[in-house]
Structure 1
Amino acid sequence: MNMLYYLAYGSNLHPLRLTVRVPSARFLGLTTLSGYDLRFHKRHEPDGSGKCNMYQTGHDTDTVIGAIYAMQASEKPLLDRCEGPGYRCDTMRVDYAGQPHDCFVYIAEDSHIDDELVPYCWYKNIVLLGAEYHRMPQPYLAQIREVPVTLDPDEARHRMHYELIDQMKNYQESD
């Protein structure tokens, strides 16, 4: 079985969210990347809402905390489809448990970046629940909480995602 390492930093942080999309995904640990900032400025197609991007700033004081997951390589196309257009798939070498891991990560294409965008409330909640699940530091959680949101005009999509959010709130990983 050919395995890949995936670096999640946004809506795929929470293991329930990710395993719904990629059943083989298994959490390994967290890593912190200096020189990047978590931004909600990636334009989603077709709804135009803001999605997460790990934006390279080059400033060592900016950091993004990511979750490293192992998954079957055969399931990567499933995740590619979920992420959709406007992301490119890059490879990053990250440290976890004293070892380097080459992880694939989705980064927004410049053509899909708009700093005026805001996420739907459900989207930001999914990102925040993932960060809380992994017990990320309070200042990092506060940065996510401070992101302004807008209401999703599609009531069915809004309801569907809040059903997932309810499941995420009650999620307990079983070994």
Structure 2
Amino acid sequence: MLCFAYGSNMSTQRLAARIPARFVTTALLPAYRLAFHQRSGDGSGKCDIVPASEQSAVYGVIWEVASHHKPTLDRYEGLGVGYNETWLTVTDLASDRQFEVQAYVGNVTALGLRPYIWYKHHVLAGAREHGLPAYYIRALERIEAHHDHDAERHTLEMALHGHAEPLVRGV
């Protein structure tokens, strides 16, 4: 099964900590925009895709996921609780080939949510790792993030990318 990751699961390290998957390609989802308005159980904002104008687009990564690993990914994504599943058509950035892919779409959204620093770091790490367009990465960099009150979680999440520094308050 082909899955379209547009948030933290774009990062190979983040996804590998959850399930094994094979990278297929990078892709573009036209007429959508990225929002950090999916309410997480921890109160922070996670990524979601929202239908938008024809000029808008979301970039992401297509992963091939074995069917026996899909239920595990569904649990991580909160399928049926935080996210619903949908099927979309995306376009390969290298060849313009189209793919039918599964994606998670948020169903518990709210205005004013912000991601934690570590979550934003996963999203940026995946975008950089897979060579998404520089203007898109700059837009991700401008997303306002805040410190996680759980310093241990922050440290563990940052360690996935080789950043073992503890959370420093007030920075």
Q: TM-score, normalising length from structure 2?
A: 0.88
Which 10-residue stretch deviates more, 74-83 or 96-105? 96-105
The equivalent position to 1:106 in structure 2, one of 88, 92, 104, is 104
Q: CA deviation at 1:22?
A: 1.4
Q: 1:17 maps to what in 2?
A: 14
Q: 1:172 maps to what in 2?
A: none
Q: 2:83 maps to what in 1?
A: 87
Structure 2 unaligned residues grouped into runs of 5+: 164-171
The 2-side partners of 1:86 and 1:32 are apart by: 24
Q: 1:170 maps to what in 2?
A: none
Q: 1:161 maps to what in 2?
A: 157
Identity %: 35
The 2-side partners of 1:129 and 1:94 are apart by: 21
- Post-superposition CA distance 1:26-80 (Å, at most 9, x none): 11111111111111110001x11000001111x1111100111111011101101
Q: CA deviation at 1:136?
A: 1.0
The 1-side partners of 2:2 and 2:16 are apart by: 14
Q: 1:77 maps to what in 2?
A: 71
- Post-superposition CA distance 1:124-148 (Å, at most 9, x none): 0110010000111111001100000
Residue-pair matches, total: 159
Q: 1:115 maps to what in 2?
A: 111
- Are the aligned partners of 2:29 and 2:89 in contact in 1 as well (CA < 8 Å)? no
Q: 1:49 maps to what in 2?
A: 44
- Are the aligned partners of 2:13 and 2:161 in contact in 1 as well (CA < 8 Å)? no
| Bigger share in helix | 1
The 1-side partners of 2:141 and 2:89 are apart by: 28
- Are the aligned partners of 2:85 and 2:102 in contact in 1 as well (CA < 8 Å)? yes
Q: 1:62 maps to what in 2?
A: 56
Q: TM-score, normalising length from structure 1?
A: 0.86
Please give the secondary structure, in 2, of the residue aligned with 1:157.
Answer: helix
Q: CA deviation at 1:98?
A: 4.8
